[in-house]
Structure 1
């Protein structure tokens, strides 16, 4: 899994999503963009990918598209419209763009699977204003509100906020 941490300027969201899909298709990878305010840390996205792939392997996936399945797990939600809040929107956004080789293509030995080339293609998009760290600045109030983590819950544990967010990701699997 590769990540492009950046500041995006998206004029037309549908066009931007289509471009990401084209990059993914060209390089045999899944590409999903997230508003960085909703991502707790790299492990949050790694866990979402792991669980999405497991659901797909078992035929228990909610979405037909791997990128959307990853988004659902990252958001800890079964409803696509609610999970989309975690994605990027039109305008300028601190973002994290996930690039991950499709395991079904890797298993088949597909020579078209190329994460580094996809990363370069994403980084070169006109919408990427700058590459800059976005995961090191955790927006605690946004994460707590989105993942419904209460002050009482935080006070009752010594677990970090990213750990509590990852717990919500895993709970999606339990709630199926």
Structure 2
């Protein structure tokens, strides 16, 4: 798995998603773009990929597309429409693009060539704690009674998706 932290300026979301799909097909790579505000770091996405792959291997996946299954696990939700909130949208986005499998480096190089690519940026360095707590439904009270980091609590929510099936 490789990650590209960047800024995206997306005029047409459907066209951008189609471009990611075409790049992925060319390089045998799964690509998924996330709004960086909802990502608790690289380990969050690594865990989502692991669990999505396990779900696919067992035939328990909800989505037909691996990229969407990864999005579901990253969001800790089984409903695609609710998980899409974690994806990028039209306009300017602080983003992270995940590439997994195939020629990841070449795929991310092609992502850099897209019109929507506005430049590299450190988007995972300082997670948005308030957004993460709200999106993953982690109350202040829970954070106060545990020594776990916010990232660990988010990864727990991702793992709980397996239990809640």
TM more than 0.5 = yes
Q: Secondary structure at the match of 2:8?
A: strand
Q: Secondary structure at the match of 1:45?
A: helix
Give runs of aligned pairs for residues 44-83 of structure 1, distance below 5 A.
44-83=44-83
1:145 to 124, 134, 139: 134
Q: Secondary structure at the match of 2:93?
A: strand
Give runs of aligned pairs for residues 112-127 of structure 1, distance below 5 A.
113-127=102-116
Distance 2:12 2:116 in 1: 10
Counterpart in 2 of 1:172? 161
Q: Could you list the per-position Cα deviations for residues 65-108 of structure 1 after superposition, in whole angstroms to 9, with x for gaps in the alignment?
A: 0000000000000000000000000000100000001xxxxxxx
Distance 1:84 1:13 in 2: 12
Q: List structure 1 runs of 4+ shifted beyond 4 angstroms.
A: none
Between 1:114-123 and 1:155-164, the stretch displaced more is 114-123
* 2:11 corresponds to 1:22: no
TM-score by length of 2: 0.99
Gaps of 5+ in 1: 102-112
Distance 1:115 1:95 in 2: 17
Distance 2:113 2:148 in 1: 38
Distance 1:22 1:31 in 2: 10
Give runs of aligned pairs for residues 3-22 of structure 1, distance below 5 A.
3-22=3-22
Distance 2:66 2:145 in 1: 35
Distance 2:43 2:105 in 1: 19
Distance 2:145 2:114 in 1: 44
Counterpart in 1 of 2:91? 91
TM-score by length of 1: 0.93
Deviation at 1:119, TM superposition (A): 1.3
Counterpart in 2 of 1:108? none
